[in-house]
Amino acid sequence: MSPQRKMRDVDVNPCLEESDAAAKCLDVNNYQRDMCTLYFHRYKQCRKFWHTIMLKRRADGVNPAMPTAEERKHILASSENLPY
């Protein structure tokens, strides 16, 4: 699987929705980055959150280190509010 195709896989990339939203914002706003800072911030927070989860799972010996899309839904549902 190519790296680009891999990053479009919801089981591999937990922040696909945030990434797509940031890219769409850039398209709509003629690539003026300052118009999309909220989208970039949300993407960055998403990456931090899932990276922390991945490191914890790896330390605990859980495979795969990144939860699948279905597992992520359960993790987010168990949280009181969206962590990012």
- What whole-number distance in Å separates Cα of residue 35 and Cα of residue 75? 31
pLDDT-derived band at 2, boundaries 50, 70, 90? confident
Contact yes or no for 14/68 (Cβ under 8 A): no
Average pLDDT value for residue range 17-39: 97
Quote the pTM value.
0.87
Asked whether the predicted pLDDT for residue 31 surpasses 80, the reply is: yes
Query: What pLDDT, on a 0 to 100 scale, did the predictor assign at position 13?
Result: 93
Whose structure tokens read 């899309």? 69
User: Do you know the residue count of the chain?
Assistant: 84
Average pLDDT value for residue range 15-31: 97
Query: What pLDDT, on a 0 to 100 scale, did the predictor assign at position 50?
Result: 96
Query: What pLDDT, on a 0 to 100 scale, did the predictor assign at position 80?
Result: 83
